[in-house]
Amino acid sequence: MKYSKYRLFFGDIHGHSNLSLCGVCPGRKMVDKDVYIHSRLFNEYIEDSDVIESIDTYYSYAKNVSKLDFAALTDHDFSMSDKMWYIVRRKAAEWYSPKKFVTFSAYEWTSYRYGHRNVYFLTDDKPIFRCVDGKFPGLEYGRSPIELWNFLRKINAKAITIPHHPSLTQFPVDWNYYNPTFDRLVEIVSIWGVFEYYRNPFSCITSDNLPRFFVTDALERGYILGIVGGGDTHDCRPGDKMRSIIKRNAPMDVHINPLSEYYVPYFIHNPLGSGLTAVYAKDLTRESIFDALYKRRTYATIGARIRLEFSIDDHLMGDIIRIDDENYKPEIFAKVIGEGEIDRVEIIRNGEVIYRKYGKSSTLKLKFVDEDKPQRKNNYYYLRVVQKNGARAWSSPIWLIYKNILKVDILPNLKKNELLLINSGKISAKNIHLAFLKDKPLRTIRYKIPRRNKYGAFIWLEKLRDIEMILKLRFKSIGKPTIFRGYLKLKNIRKYYVEPRNFTMLKYGGDLFKDDYKGTIEWYIRINYNLSPFDRSSIKGLDIKLVPETFEKASFLLDVYRDDKRENNRTYFNGKKLHKLPKQIVIYDPEETMVWKTKIDKILPSETYSLKIAEKIKEKSNYVLVFPSLTSKDHIKASLTQLHKF
């Protein structure tokens, strides 16, 4: 398929009218509020007017001023009655003009617990499903995304749900909830900032941010999500770079977490402007635009309406390519036409830049062949475009999913003193290292925090599979307001992922952790401070999923403070008291239990390799550790096989 089969359209599918309580469109009295109003628009904020008028203001601005091809109004569910929702749908129908201007009935499903998702319908006849009924969503958990998706199925809705501003501590997206049928896209940019990756140069500064919650983090989980941009404007100026009003962003008595990287008392908008969504659709109709969104033929842009084509071997952005050829080398093509001089175009594979081409004009073409052998089954590629004036664009990814690349099955045959290694994968297994072990190299246990301990730091290691494990950190205080802070530094860990547990999430002043994605993790947690209606737990902490370097000793350096003192004698690892901090703790050590180590140069596909085992090695060994053994969705795995089980 070629892009020439489609037409390119630009739109903004995320914006608010005065139906949202946070709306600041003309016709809402703001002169008595703590705000800054653009001098040219001051008279529009002197008196209140009918909030319904702001719906027309929004669509009129999108169509007639910003000259957008399509738009959707996404007012908050909790601030709309059923009558208001009926009016929203009616207005979407009235403003829809096939071949000229496309609208969608939509709303923002607003959850402080699970994050915000916009819900878009193909038709104008579907009911609303709120996260909470009759209350502000910051006061209760409400319904879960699963309940939302079940409802959409129940009413047979052709619908798309799009999570946005996923990393904001005010309402972070819980990425444990994902539905590929409805979650087709994710918003990467808006007036809040850029949400591509942690600590990117245009991160949101009007809230704390959580590492491991950004768009690339979701893609690294294996989620198939296309990319869109949105305004998330609240002033009825969709598609405009200028904001009419700046509101106070935080209360006067705000507490700033010491790990906060930004704080601004007023809502400072993304300096690049507001985001837009570009789609490749067959024509300008609701059905065609919806189809393009659903099939992820989309990209995001901000600061300029950059025209972008991105393909891999004639597959368009949003496509999934399933590969059954171990020698396949993807050929990547890009064509960019900017509204200003292009600084660079970058190809990102699995979160890392693998190719960059600099520009010297407003147009750029590139062709690149990725010669690298795949290191995982599921791979994604996308394009990042940057103009010299800062404007930028991000394509939706193209996914390359390989079938059964590497798979070495381990079959002990102890009666014959041999170990069979069967290569059932598509490629040759090379440089296979094996270690025969007396015991498991992992120092994992099953553990429960003792009820008798009223406070303390409790760290333990649980096994997941093979040599993969999860490090659990829990900080406990019963009744007394307590601050826990500290850090750990991982050593010889090949891959890891961090997830907070029972954190209280606030715009500023909530619980926070930092992660440099290189092994250093910090935290600052407050317990029994009643930070919000959700702050109910006397135990908070982090889960860290770990994949160690297969044949290296893995450890971490730990330091913990409770209030202002180092938590000596009240910090436990695997149930044992640590008397002095900081402490280097070994969690994995194959050398300590190793009986014999060897290497196999190569096993061809479909070949069975017989490794003879000496009797004395067999008698002393209970496990065999093999690497590489399997190419999984996101990394090359080792296997740990129990010998005497067979």
Work out the average pLDDT over 4-12: 98
622: left (phi over 0), alpha (psi -120 to 50) or beta: alpha
CA angle 112-228-209, nearest 5°?
40
What CATH topology corresponds to 7-303?
Answer: TIM Barrel (3.20.20)
CB 561 within 8 Å of CB 516: no
pTM of the predicted model as reported, rounded to 2 decimal places: 0.97
CATH (residue range 455-589) = 2.60.40
pLDDT 10s digits, 127-145:
999 999 988 999 999 999 9
Q: Has residue 378 got a pLDDT over 90?
A: yes
CA distances (Å), 416 to each of 125, 413, 420, 567, 615, in order? 71, 6, 11, 54, 10
Beta-sheet strands, E only, within 424-538: 429-437, 455-465, 468-477, 482-491, 493-501, 512-515, 520-527
Hey, what's the torsion of the CAs at 393, 399, 405, 411, to 10 degrees? 110
User: What 3-state DSSP class applies to 219?
Assistant: helix
Alpha helices in 117-237 (DSSP H): 145-154, 215-220
pLDDT 10s digits, 351-374:
999 999 999 999 999 999 999 999
Q: Has residue 591 got a pLDDT over 90?
A: yes
- What pLDDT shows up at residue 645? 60
Instruction: Name the pLDDT band for 183 (thresholds 50, 70, 90).
Output: very high
pLDDT 10s digits, 500-527:
999 999 999 999 999 999 999 999 999 9
- Common-topology check for domains 7-303 and 308-402: no
Burial environment of residue 377 by CB neighbours within 10 A (0 to 12, 13 to 18, 19 or more): buried
Question: Is the domain covering 408-439+592-645 a CATH 2.60.40.3970 domain?
Answer: yes
Instruction: Name the pLDDT band for 291 (thresholds 50, 70, 90).
Output: very high
CB 544 within 8 Å of CB 470: yes
Instruction: Name the pLDDT band for 459 (thresholds 50, 70, 90).
Output: very high
Position of tokens 């368009």?
316
DSSP 286: H
Q: Which of 5, 634, 524, 9 is nearest to 284 (CA)?
A: 9
Number of helices (H), then strands (E), in the chain? 6, 41
Q: Tell me the C-alpha distance between 566 and 580, whole Å.
A: 9
Domain residue limits, the chain: 7-303, 308-402, 408-439+592-645, 455-589
Work out the average pLDDT over 441-466: 95
What are the structure tokens assigned to 24, written together? 């600041």
Work out the average pLDDT over 160-179: 98
Work out the average pLDDT over 541-557: 98
Q: Has residue 646 got a pLDDT over 60?
A: no
Q: Has residue 64 got a pLDDT over 60?
A: yes
Q: Which of 440, 444, 470 is nearest to 640 (CA)?
A: 440
Residues, the chain, total? 646
CATH architecture of the domain with range 308-402:
Sandwich (2.60)
- What pLDDT shows up at residue 326? 78
DSSP 5: G
CA distances (Å), 348 to each of 5, 314, 381, 396, 616, in order? 26, 18, 5, 11, 50
Work out the average pLDDT over 217-230: 99
* pLDDT over 70 percentage in the chain: 100
Contacts with 271 (C-beta within 8 Å, 6 or more apart), sequence order: 202, 390
pLDDT 10s digits, 235-264:
999 999 999 999 998 988 899 999 999 999
pLDDT 10s digits, 393-450:
999 999 999 998 999 999 999 889 999 999 999 899 999 999 999 999 999 999 999 9
pLDDT 10s digits, 80-112:
999 999 999 999 999 999 999 999 999 999 999
Instruction: Name the pLDDT band for 644 (thresholds 50, 70, 90).
Output: confident
